[in-house]
Structure 1
């Protein structure tokens, strides 16, 4: 049942956080943006509301599976660790047990998320040359709002077309581009995520209760998401740049080269690009994720008892 609850929580979370995720990726990969509001205004001006949801269909289709695997892996890893260490899967785990189970959850999800992350980032950062050219043509002396034949079409027409194009042009390795940064990002961030959630739930549980109320779950889930993204943001920047690097001439030879080049060209602050946005997005998203997750678990437990 952990898998089902995780799937429902994940879908709710992506519905809340995707527009800010688009802004975050563009800030991390396109140096022209000076801040969050600059990116939001520019995206809306060029692409309207749809621009914030570019590449959404694939994450929506896959997030239930990914979230299911993440929460299911965490719970089952924790049960196995408790069985090995204490002789019972229902024994109270230590903080180290929770962190290790969260780390395992983060590593497992990478194999599922890397191709969808590549497609999402490519679609989110794809330049809208056709729209820009059409506007330029319309504003010219002829004022004919027709895109000339030479106007380039967007390279990727959608998530599946993007995946097929990347696989054809860059091979299987292209679908797992940036996976080394993704491993470093998700392993540590999910260890932080589940550990901080467990600690906060313990603190926020009323006296005589083993679990917090709904408000406690909201606060614990939101804070856990913020802390996880605070840990994840440096590798998230590198991951996004590596995955976006394939549209035109390649700039980066690998994770270390990307990190060194980015820091040399833009300073150490580049590794924290999108941090404020990540944290602002993480709080409401993970409030929703954990409330939905806990609600489904409690509902099913109530039905089974």
Structure 2
């Protein structure tokens, strides 16, 4: 396999390990508070003894198994698709200064195509991660429950808004990283200066990306965790009385009184009606702190691995 595949895979896994604790807080803030307080232990960060007992340090890794396995593959697919798309888009292009300095439109388009290409990995990975983070179950238990309720279709709940988020987000991701690098990199920079600038450019790219798509990410989280949070059932993913997907048939002879799953548009409208526009930016500060750290580390790992593998 190509160097960018392995560099993308390893750097993606490293990024998940670094950023998972803050990602848990982001997901919980986006999802909203269920009616079962003990299953939503955000109070752990206050330092209270009781909260620490209910929320051990291992809980900061909750939901990380699926992303470590899935996001490594996702990142590998992302970088391979981006690099190949960028090469094709700039073949014979007259809008670029040079092959090493692609035009802004081609950077964004190649990034968006890379984001779309990750759909088959991104949608189930994000779903399992979010549901594990707002519940007390492991990624494997979440996956089994989703498969039991709706088979393959259940693993792609919220896939539409996830793919839109990824296309827009990764377009800005590669565009912002490349232009930040052009603005900061000098011809006579030392190796340490270059490494520091890669960290800074990667961090800035992460912040730009998440700021641009945060409302979509909030909506994605709400769609994927609606049945857990809406009835305070974060500790019981496999709830037979409430269908995972709208239109899912009930067991023979049993008529459920549980509400059917609303559409993505209805979830967005109800969130806005209940909490105003601020609901779509809840957790943005934590997300941007995480985005800067994770993407600084991830880009540094990617650039380093690409140089080593090229040798």
Query: Does residue 83 of structure 2 align to residue 75 of structure 1?
Result: yes
Deviations 1:71-113 (A, max 9, x none): 1111111011112536x99463101000000111111112211
Cα distance in 2, alignment partners of residues 187 and 39 from structure 1: 35
Deviation of 1:189 after TM superposition, in Å, equals: 0.9
Match of 2:186 in 1: 206
Cα distance in 1, alignment partners of residues 223 and 54 from structure 2: 25
Indicate the SS of the match to 2:90: helix
Match of 1:231 in 2: 212
Deviation of 1:208 after TM superposition, in Å, equals: 6.2
User: Which residue of 106, 109, 114 maps to 2:115?
Assistant: 106
TM-score (norm 1): 0.81
Match of 1:244 in 2: 225
Cα distance in 2, alignment partners of residues 78 and 20 from structure 1: 32
Question: When you count helix as a share of all residues, which structure comes out higher?
Answer: 1
Query: Does residue 23 of structure 2 align to residue 21 of structure 1?
Result: yes
Deviations 1:212-232 (A, max 9, x none): 711110110000001101012
Deviations 1:29-57 (A, max 9, x none): 12379xx9746348645222122211222
Cα distance in 1, alignment partners of residues 22 and 100 from structure 2: 39
Match of 1:144 in 2: none
Indicate the SS of the match to 1:71: helix
Q: How does 1:114-125 map to 2 (within 5 A)?
A: 114-125=123-134
Match of 2:269 in 1: 260
CA RMSD of aligned residues (A): 2.6
Indicate the SS of the match to 1:83: coil
Deviation of 1:119 after TM superposition, in Å, equals: 1.2
Cα distance in 2, alignment partners of residues 29 and 39 from structure 1: 17
Indicate the SS of the match to 2:165: helix
Counterparts in 2 of 1:253 and 1:218: CA distance versus 1, 3 Å: same
Counterparts in 2 of 1:165 and 1:191: CA distance versus 1, 3 Å: same
Question: How many residues get paired?
Answer: 270
TM-score (norm 2): 0.80
Cα distance in 2, alignment partners of residues 165 and 31 from structure 1: 22
Indicate the SS of the match to 1:92: coil
Deviations 1:202-254 (A, max 9, x none): 00111467x97111101100000011010121111111111112335467422
Q: Identify the range of structure 1 (41-50 vs 159-168) with the bigger mean alpha-carbon deviation.
A: 41-50
Query: Does residue 289 of structure 2 align to residue 277 of structure 1?
Result: no
Query: Does residue 295 of structure 2 align to residue 286 of structure 1?
Result: yes
Match of 2:67 in 1: 59
Counterparts in 2 of 1:75 and 1:233: CA distance versus 1, 3 Å: same
Cα distance in 2, alignment partners of residues 26 and 267 from structure 1: 18
Indicate the SS of the match to 2:101: coil
Match of 1:31 in 2: 33
Cα distance in 2, alignment partners of residues 124 and 45 from structure 1: 17
Deviation of 1:23 after TM superposition, in Å, equals: 0.9
Counterparts in 2 of 1:50 and 1:92: CA distance versus 1, 3 Å: same
Contact 1:225–1:283 (CA under 8 A) maintained in structure 2:
yes
Deviation of 1:163 after TM superposition, in Å, equals: 1.4
Match of 2:13 in 1: 11
Cα distance in 2, alignment partners of residues 108 and 45 from structure 1: 42
Counterparts in 2 of 1:161 and 1:199: CA distance versus 1, 3 Å: same
Counterparts in 2 of 1:191 and 1:170: CA distance versus 1, 3 Å: same
Indicate the SS of the match to 2:63: coil
